[in-house]
Amino acid sequence: MMLTVSPNQPAKKQPTMNINDNPEKAAEYLRQVIPMLTKHKVPATPVNYSVWYSYVSGQQLALNEAINNTLEQGKPITSEFCNELYEAYVDGSAMISAQEEIQKKLSKIVTQTIQNVGEACKEAETFDQTLNQRSTQLDQVSDNDSLQMLISQMTTDTRKMAENGQSLQNQMHETKSEVEQLRQELDQVKQAARQDSLTGLSNRGSFDEHMEILTQLPANNSHPGCLMMLDIDHFKRINDNFGHLVGDRVIKYVAALLKQVVGENQIIARYGGEEFAVVMKDTPYEVVLKLAEKIRIGLSKSKLQRKESGETIGQITISIGVTKQQEDDTPERFIERADAALYKAKNGGRDQVVHDDS
């Protein structure tokens, strides 16, 4: 298979690292972050460190794209820019702001609707009083001219009430459309909060939720839930030799391969950086191992080259660790076993599948 790869507000909260990163990964990210801070002459403040930690770990691909685009344009990376990135991508302010804006719009619509309905009720009450008055006047009419005039007045009153009712109906239709639009916007915000921006896969938070739910259910002894942890081999070398934009393209390709092999009905997540996770339920363990091997072979046989130059990127391989759910598993224990199998695959020479029974 041939893949053509193309290169492509001050924070107020205290920064937080991903507590699920194991010590080995955190140490590796530290070794990468410090030289980057020095290279770009950015002080090693907690905010700046958080931004570059997120960058090297790939936790927020929109942040990576923002930094890469700035570097492509030859612009400097300043502390002010890092503050903006932190506020937008690291502490979740952008997502919260979007939700708050939708809530404000919805509150305004509800207030306006209540006001419109209140005015309509007043108009209906006034119309009822007018009808009662016309009824009394009708009893007192003694000549044809007075009767015609009264009928004309009642017709005018009724027409005005009908127009007011139609106006209210039109307003309610507009309100319904606005509420539906806001509902769609809110769905998009919720989806974005659960989705990795680069690959379209589930993100780390969504994966953690799925793991929490899975481990709260009784383990299926016939087909227990299975977890794959996958890590692209020598990915730092790809970034160093070809740039982060090419690295992002490789990550997107791996994500597409996972969808193709595993199927989109399974839980496939971007775990962080060049690492992925696949949760499979109600699937025989032997089938899961065969699918893991199919992923490994499929990637190793792919031929990748740069679009603009035709330069070959070289063989891309992946290491995979697989485990199955056990009784009384917690998400942490479940992930630790798969992670241990993955590191066994990496330490054993990479480009292989290792399961915790091997």
Sheet holding 353-355, edge to edge: 267-272, 275-280, 226-232, 318-324, 353-355
Cα–Cα distance measured from residue 229 to residue 340, given in angstroms and rounded to the nearest whole number: 9
Those residues with Cβ within 8 angstroms of residue 183's Cβ, 6 or more apart along the chain or in another chain? none
pLDDT digits (tens, 9 = 90+) for 260-274: 999 878 999 999 889
Which of 20, 89, 56 shows the shortest CA–CA distance to 229? 20
Which residue did the predictor score with more confidence, 315 or 170? 315
- According to DSSP, residue 88 is labeled I
The residue written with tokens 């499929």 in the block is 298
Q: What is the pLDDT of residue 117?
A: 73
Total length of the chain = 358
Q: Which residues pair with 321 in a beta bridge?
A: 229, 354
pLDDT band at 255 (very low <50, low <70, confident <90, very high): very high
pLDDT band at 31 (very low <50, low <70, confident <90, very high): confident
Average pLDDT score over the chain: 80
Cα–Cα distance measured from residue 319 to residue 348, given in angstroms and rounded to the nearest whole number: 10
Which of 58, 103, 66, 106 shows the shortest CA–CA distance to 82? 66
- C-alpha distance from residue 122 to each of 160, 161, 292 (Å): 14, 11, 69
Q: What is the pLDDT of residue 303?
A: 81
pLDDT digits (tens, 9 = 90+) for 108-157: 776 777 777 777 787 877 877 887 887 787 777 778 877 788 788 888 87
- C-alpha distance from residue 1 to each of 4, 185, 225, 296, 352 (Å): 10, 38, 31, 13, 20
Cα–Cα distance measured from residue 307 to residue 310, given in angstroms and rounded to the nearest whole number: 5
Mean pLDDT of 312-328: 91
The residue written with tokens 């490994």 in the block is 296
pLDDT band at 335 (very low <50, low <70, confident <90, very high): very high
Q: What is the pLDDT of residue 233?
A: 95
Find out whether 214 and 282 touch, Cβ atoms under 8 Å. no
Report the Cα 20 to chain-centroid distance in Å. 19
Q: Which residues pair with 227 in a beta bridge?
A: 279, 323
Which residue did the predictor score with more confidence, 54 or 177? 54
Please list the active-site residues. 274
The answer to whether residue 292 scores a pLDDT higher than 70 is yes
Structure tokens, 15: 């920064």
Q: Which residues pair with 232 in a beta bridge?
A: 318
Structure tokens, 227: 């977890």
Q: What is the pLDDT of residue 162?
A: 80
Q: What is the pLDDT of residue 92?
A: 54
pLDDT band at 81 (very low <50, low <70, confident <90, very high): confident
Q: What is the pLDDT of residue 340?
A: 94
Q: What is the pLDDT of residue 228?
A: 97
pLDDT band at 220 (very low <50, low <70, confident <90, very high): low
User: Helix 331-347 crosses helix 204-216 at what angle (to 10 degrees)?
Assistant: 120
Residue 83, amino acid: N
Which of 209, 177, 205 shows the shortest CA–CA distance to 271? 205
CA angle 167, 172, 176 (to 5 degrees): 150
- C-alpha distance from residue 352 to each of 230, 246, 333, 342 (Å): 10, 24, 22, 9
Cα–Cα distance measured from residue 151 to residue 294, given in angstroms and rounded to the nearest whole number: 85
Cα–Cα distance measured from residue 283 to residue 301, given in angstroms and rounded to the nearest whole number: 26
Q: What is the pLDDT of residue 17?
A: 46
Q: How many CB atoms lie within 10 A of CB 357?
A: 10
The answer to whether residue 257 scores a pLDDT higher than 70 is yes
Residue 226, amino acid: C
Which residue did the predictor score with more confidence, 256 or 161? 256
The residue written with tokens 């090297």 in the block is 56
pLDDT band at 190 (very low <50, low <70, confident <90, very high): low
When mean pLDDT is compared over 2-6, 78-82, 181-185, 211-215, the highest value belongs to 211-215
